[in-house]
A = this chain, B = another copy of it.
Amino acid sequence: MSVTAAKGFSAAGIAAGIKENGNPDLALVVNNGPRRAAAGVFTSNRVKAAPVLWSEQVLRGGEVTAVVLNSGGANACTGPKGFQDTHATAEKAAEVLAGHSAGEVAVASTGLIGLLLPMDKLLPGIEHAAAELSPHGGEKAAIAIKTTDSVHKTAVVDGEGWTVGGMAKGAGMLAPGLATMLVVLTTDADLEAATLDKALRDATRLTFDRIDSDGCMSTNDTVLLLASGAAGITPRYEEFAEAVRKVCDDLARQLIGDAEGASKDIRIEVINAATEDDAVEVGRSIARNNLLKCAIHGEDPNWGRVLSAIGTTKAAFEPDRLNVAINDVWVCKNGGVGEDRELVDMRYREVKITADLAAGSESAVIWANDLTADYVHENSAYSS
């Protein structure tokens, strides 16, 4: 499972003491080859954490031999010292994994913004993790990158003779602009970096880019895809891209399903839009409407809040042609009252909102969460 489902990878997850509570906080993923092609997608937030700035440089080379990931601190907004710390992390990993260069070690961090990492714990932790590396270590690695996640998140899809697997973390600040949270995908397929990059961008555009738990974009979002070539097979692009998309979709859904304080997963499908961009813009506007998110929490099919959210967008539509269904009951027809709202059953965790713009034939699905008192509590009672 996880990042070691594909052949040619080993991983470890340990407690280095970065988290004060002693929970696992350091993961190491190593590509044992024979190839070391890689692609990455990062946050579009202009305030980027040091490990994002570092890993963006590493990925330009198209090769990654190892990824060091830590929870317990985002190393964001930490100035030159924070960047030096990320550099030292990569150097330490390269030294421990003899024969590798720091320029091929990606780094990812997650946790509170604005604090320097305890390097006196992190650097020895890398040695410890290297000693624990195992072809069965994917699960432990996935556990070590958790922050407020209640469960660790992994996914695997098998192709014909090759595999794509991965792990993810993320429970809040979950509205990626180009990627989300920390995700490492691995495959044993034999592919060039450029092919990995295209498959990864095609997949994230339709998966991580279309979840929006709380409208807040992180400084640390990182999605990496590493290929070992150990399967000795080069799949057709379409098959491979489909497998990557499935793994990303699975992980993205797990992120929404475990979002901080959420009691509902909301599937927002915008249909009959003039363009796909319109559909995404409208979906995001609905996803970010706090009043609607509260209504869904209260199991109130308040379609007026859906319309008021649609009305703030620049998408093509006529107000008196809009239709909205909640759990398949068309409560709003032609911009006004439709079927009886009492028919809407909202008892289950998944709630489906369908917004028909009646302006074309494009569509998009955005996943979101409700807004709950638990979310407020989790994000006000202590720093995270």
What is the bound-complex CA distance between A371 and B260, given in angstroms? 15
Q: Which residues of A contact B (CB under 8 A)?
A: 45-48, 74, 76-79, 81-82, 112-116, 172-173, 177, 214-219, 288-291, 294-295, 297-298, 300, 302-305, 307-313, 317, 319-320, 322, 332, 334-337, 371-373, 375-383
Taken together, the copies of this chain in the complex come to 2
- Would you call B113 and A308 a contact (CB within 8 A)? yes
- Would you call B290 and A45 a contact (CB within 8 A)? no
- Would you call B308 and A219 a contact (CB within 8 A)? yes
The answer, among B173, B312, B319, B337, for a CB contact under 8 Å with A291, is: B173
Q: Which residue from chain B places its CB closest to the CB of A303 in the assembled complex?
A: B114
A293 to chain B, nearest CB (A): 9
- Would you call B382 and A298 a contact (CB within 8 A)? yes
Max count, chain B CB within 10 A of own CB: residue among A46, A288, A373: A46
Question: Can you give 23 A-B contacts (C-beta < 8 A)?
Answer: A46-B313, A46-B317, A46-B319, A47-B319, A47-B335, A48-B319, A74-B304, A77-B303, A77-B335, A78-B337, A79-B334, A81-B336, A116-B337, A215-B289, A216-B309, A217-B311, A217-B312, A219-B307, A219-B308, A291-B379, A294-B378, A295-B380, A298-B381
A276 to chain B, nearest CB (A): 20
A305-B113, A311-B45 known; A216+B291 contact, CB < 8 A: yes
Majority SS at the chain A contact face: loop
A307 contacts which chain B residues (CB < 8 A)?
A: 47, 76-77, 113-114, 219
A46 contacts which chain B residues (CB < 8 A)?
A: 310-313, 317, 319
- Would you call B377 and A337 a contact (CB within 8 A)? no
- Would you call A304 and B76 a contact (CB within 8 A)? yes
What is the bound-complex CA distance between A172 and B292, given in angstroms? 12
What is the bound-complex CA distance between A82 and B173, given in angstroms? 40
A177 contacts which chain B residues (CB < 8 A)?
A: 312
- Would you call A312 and B45 a contact (CB within 8 A)? yes
The answer, among B78, B310, B336, for a CB contact under 8 Å with A78, is: B336
- Would you call B47 and A288 a contact (CB within 8 A)? no
A288 contacts which chain B residues (CB < 8 A)?
A: 215
Q: Which residue from chain B places its CB closest to the CB of A114 in the assembled complex?
A: B304
- Would you call B308 and A214 a contact (CB within 8 A)? no
A247 to chain B, nearest CB (A): 27
A173-B308, A216-B308, A312-B177 known; A79+B320 contact, CB < 8 A: yes
What is the bound-complex CA distance between A113 and B311, given in angstroms? 13
A377 contacts which chain B residues (CB < 8 A)?
A: 373
- Would you call B376 and A372 a contact (CB within 8 A)? yes
A300-B380, A380-B295, A380-B300 known; A77+B312 contact, CB < 8 A: no
A291 contacts which chain B residues (CB < 8 A)?
A: 172-173, 214, 216, 379
- Would you call A383 and B216 a contact (CB within 8 A)? no
A218 contacts which chain B residues (CB < 8 A)?
A: 308
What is the bound-complex CA distance between A214 and B377, given in angstroms? 17
